[in-house]
Amino acid sequence: MNINALLNLNGKRLVLASASPRRAYLLELVGFDFEVLVSDLDEHNEEYTMPEVHVLELSQKKAWKVAETIKDGLIVGADTIVVLDKQILGKPAGVDEAAQMLRRLSGRTHTVYTGFTIIEKPGGKIASDYDRTEVRFRHLSQQEITEYVKTRNSLDKAGAYGIQDQGALFVSGVNGCFYNVMGFPVTKFYETLRRFLV
């Protein structure tokens, strides 16, 4: 199924403003034709108290950063965070922080938020939305945490785990969109883009 033809992009190129290989994989998986232009936005100085605001603001800033370099196209920015006890857990700074995050998530339920933004150039039309998914972890042993952080899979992921890699062994239940936990809610994005193009 050719999603670009189905949606009638009117010849506009679709640009993913993200360095995440998981987001690119998911867009490819459902049949989008797109290119990647990485936003160089410094996320470390960006933090908002409400998770919805955090992911929406950052997805917009990432999309606009790339949109400034493009004359014509549809630019997509996204941001994912993990929330536990009303605290935002982003990407860990190193293996020690990754292990600390996993110890906090062990045996508990956390929420994953992903926000995305679509910007149309040259018109400047914009749409943003987000999705949230609850993820339940089983109790993890210290050895499991130590072995997992050794793989370094945790370092580029919010909450220090990937549900699509060995981190899947930590998850005992998911309530909501599975792909949102991977970093991109493809169904909500498709529905939003379809309305956006009308």
CATH number at residue 29: 3.90.950.10
Residues facing 81 on adjacent strands: 113
Give the C-alpha separation, 158 to 15, whole Å: 23
Mean of the per-residue pLDDT values of the chain: 91
**pLDDT in the model for residue 198:** 83
Task: State how many domains the chain has.
Answer: 1
Cβ(15)–Cβ(22) under 8 Å? no
Residue 89 makes CB contacts below 8 A (sequence gap 6+) with 81, 82, 83, 101, 104, 110, 158, 159, 160
Preceding peptide of 122 cis, ω within 30°: yes
- For 143, the token pair is 């050895």
CA end-to-end distance (rounded Å), the chain: 20
**pLDDT in the model for residue 4:** 67
**pLDDT in the model for residue 42:** 65
Q: pLDDT for 161-179, tens place per residue?
A: 999 999 999 999 999 999 9
The residue segments making up the domain with residue 77 are: 3-197
Buried b (16+ CB within 10 A) or exposed e, 59-81: bbbbbbbbbeebeebbbbbbbbb
Tell me whether residue 79 is one of the annotated catalytic residues: yes
Q: pLDDT for 109-125, tens place per residue?
A: 999 999 999 999 999 99
Q: pLDDT for 144-159, tens place per residue?
A: 999 999 998 888 889 9
Of the residues 33, 40, 42, 79, only one is catalytic, namely 79
Cβ(157)–Cβ(90) under 8 Å? no
pLDDT at residue 45 is higher than 60? no
Q: Which of 28-32, 132-136, 163-167 ranks highest by mean pLDDT?
A: 132-136
Confidence band of 181 (pLDDT split at 50, 70, 90) = very high
